[in-house]
Amino acid sequence: MIEQSLFLIKPNAVMRGHVGQIITMLEDQGFAIVKMKLFRFDEELARIFYAEHIGKEFYPRLQRFMCSGNTVALLLERENAIKVLRELIGDLSPEKRKPGTIRALYGDGVTENGAHASDSLESAKRETEVIFGA
């Protein structure tokens, strides 16, 4: 089934100049770019996007990090996009990341992990609307 997923290249990967390499990895896995946007989170947008994490211990650090620099958002499409993208991005936890995944190559820890990918079709729809509008 053809699916769409939101994918974010986070500020640390953007600042280090890894946007091109990451997009190449995505295209090599058969993802089509439907939309793309360069932007910077502000506190309000971060609160909306990461609403489920507000009140958790790590949220202030996450919010500061996401507002620290530019982010590249991509709306991606392909067969089984959610599953394939979640495998390609790699684990949140650095010690569990498989070599060659985006987070293993371009992540700098748990929060500064280089990338975000929607974890379900419902999340993809909500996150896409937050970033690109309805």
% of the chain surpassing 90 pLDDT = 96
Catalytic residue flag (residue 53): no
Tell me the CATH number at 50: 3.30.70.141
At 55-88, the pLDDT tens digits run 999 999 999 999 999 999 999 999 999 999 999 9
Residue numbers of the domain that contains 45: 2-132
pLDDT at position 125, please?
97
- Number of folded domains that form the chain: 1
- Active site residue: 115, 116, 118, 124, which one? 116
pLDDT at 111: 87
How much is the average pLDDT of 97-116? Answer: 95
Alpha carbons 84 and 78: distance in angstroms, whole number:
9
pLDDT at 119 over 70: yes
Q: What is the pTM of this model?
A: 0.96
